[in-house]
Amino acid sequence: MPSVQLTIARDFTVGPVPPRLFGSFVEHMGRCVYTGLYEPGHPSADADGLRQDVLDLVREVGPTVVRYPGGNFVSGHDWEDFVGPREDRPRRLDLAWRTIETNEFGLSEFVRWARKADVEPMMAVNLGTRGVREALELLEYANHPGGTRMSDLRRAHGDADPFGIRLWCLGNEMDGPWQVGHKTAHEYGRLAAETARAMRLVDPSIELVACGSSGRGMATFGEWERVVLEETYDVVDHVSAHAYYEEHEGPTGLADFLACSADMDAFIDDVVATADAVKARGRHSKQMTISFDEWNVWYLSRHQQTDIAQGRSGWDVAPRVIEDEYSVTDAVVVGTLLNSLLRHADRVAIGCQAQLVNVIGLLRSEPGGPAWKQASALPFEQVRRHARGEVLQLQAAGDRVDSPTYGDVPVVDATATWDEESGTLALFLANRAVDEESTVALSALGLPSLRVLDAQVLAAPADGDRHAANTGPAARPGRAPAPARHGRRGHDGAGPAARAVVGGRPARRRLTGTPGTVGQRLGWRSVSVLLTMGSRPGGPP
């Protein structure tokens, strides 16, 4: 049986847990907004057309910040189209996803939704087809109290109070040739710097994110960050990073997939090294942080074969696009990606899992029908709830598993947080051993004697199907599983669904073994385990 020995020490910390690490992303893409967040005719819709069933799940899963309105969408979008009276808003071609954007849902609706969901809004401006002036006008519309053309326009539209949006992205994935208005690093760096300088004049309280690379595999990766940060270092606060992973077909696909957080670790380390080199060279004093504002499992290679991706069809309103259905295996990987972000809490200030609903979503919803959590929502929710206080440095010794692309990685991926206030330690563990349980021994130096408060396990169902997914209310715990259908995760459109039930299996365990040592056997093909331990009763909410 594989085993790992973890060592942590109370005083050896990475840094405080950044609350914005547990963000998400809402793009005008597919059914994320329309029939996801917003569906006026839905039985649960409130007077604003916002689906309460989705809002309830969002509050449970608990993202802290939500990026909006794109994504590739933003690079061709005119913000003026999605403000003001609905009947005057134009229908437009969305070139990014070859759909029709009705603009029925827009800025004011999003801000209202964000307040109800208790999330911080994070806006992106269009630096693909537009520039400094349009970004300034949008910021003035959103944040200036009144008495000027744009702020009075907002007031005339019914929003007397400014929106007070602090976080702004300077465009999206401008390094990507697929981006409408794609630019070279020099072109983008200059534009981003000019836009940032001017936006700070409108509202000095904002935080700005410059576009980094849309993937570590981009040919321009590294050089892009260097050039963009040389231009923008003094006027931006964060540089972005995006990463999506999938299980490829073939004999090494699973091993690589389970180890892909090693790529995210390396990606972050590379961006930090580049930013710090720019800092040194420019004699800057501030430290750049990373906004990892798109990350997830995404079966991108399947999407690339679809008509929309190949530019053959489209121009529908809110079609089903990349509605990937997440399995237990995917959820394990999502857990390891969250661990990677936590491990870098000293340099990653913001993380946005992409996306929130339907489109590679944590949540799914059906038009006129139910809404439910995908398997990937469980590790997200657990980490968001229990990661408190300080992230601890963690040494892992013991068994490792090999992956052809990312090298060997510990059989159990782990992070730990310590919350002095509540006296609570949280461990987040993902077992990469596919057919075996793994044991974990913990040596916690400088921590009081521990007892287990709570342990949550996400595991494959009794039949051991690692492709099991939460296919909807019929397959939710307490209900009968969906009829067994073969196939794997969903494709674009109504693809085949995986079968059976995925759910959190709460279990209360007492600490056994010598003081300071925890023996935790992970379930067969188990994916993510949360142990919350404390020196006194009562854990985090």
The site for ligand AHR (CB under 6 A) is made up of: 27, 70-72, 172-173, 214, 294, 354-355
Q: Are 257 and 229 in contact (CB under 8 A)?
A: no
Q: What is the largest CA-CA distance in the chain?
A: 70
Is 173 labeled as catalytic in the residue annotation?
A: yes
d(CA 192, CA 209): 9
Tokens of 428: 């987040």
Of 124 and 450, which has the nearer Cβ to ligand AHR?
A: 124
Of 173 and 413, which has the nearer Cβ to ligand AHR?
A: 173
Query: Catalytic: which of 231, 294, 381, 390?
Result: 294
Question: Could you tell me the smallest distance in angstroms from the CB atom of residue 408 to ligand AHR?
Answer: 30
The residue number with the shortest CB distance to ligand AHR is 71
Of 2 and 212, which has the nearer Cβ to ligand AHR?
A: 212
SS3 331: helix
Question: Could you tell me the smallest distance in angstroms from the CB atom of residue 71 to ligand AHR?
Answer: 3
Of 113 and 295, which has the nearer Cβ to ligand AHR?
A: 295
Question: Could you tell me the smallest distance in angstroms from the CB atom of residue 532 to ligand AHR?
Answer: 32
Question: Could you tell me the smallest distance in angstroms from the CB atom of residue 457 to ligand AHR?
Answer: 29
d(CA 90, CA 126): 18
Q: Identify the CA nearest to 452 among candidates 372, 515, 409.
A: 515
d(CA 25, CA 294): 7
Question: Could you tell me the smallest distance in angstroms from the CB atom of residue 191 to ligand AHR?
Answer: 18
d(CA 352, CA 25): 6
Within 10 Å of residue 394's Cβ, how many Cβ atoms? 19
Within 10 Å of residue 282's Cβ, how many Cβ atoms? 12
Of 151 and 355, which has the nearer Cβ to ligand AHR?
A: 355
Rounded alpha-carbon distances, angstroms, from residue 403 to 365, 425, 462, 528: 35, 30, 27, 19
Residue whose structure tokens are 């972000």: 341
Is 87 labeled as catalytic in the residue annotation?
A: no
Tokens of 390: 């300080």
What dihedral angle (degrees, nearest 10) is formed by the CA atoms of 128, 132, 138, 143?
Answer: 130
Of 95 and 117, which has the nearer Cβ to ligand AHR?
A: 95
Q: Identify the CA nearest to 195 among candidates 144, 146, 124.
A: 124
Question: Could you tell me the smallest distance in angstroms from the CB atom of residue 225 to ligand AHR?
Answer: 17
Query: Catalytic: which of 104, 109, 173, 247?
Result: 173
Q: Show which residues are catalytic.
A: 173, 294
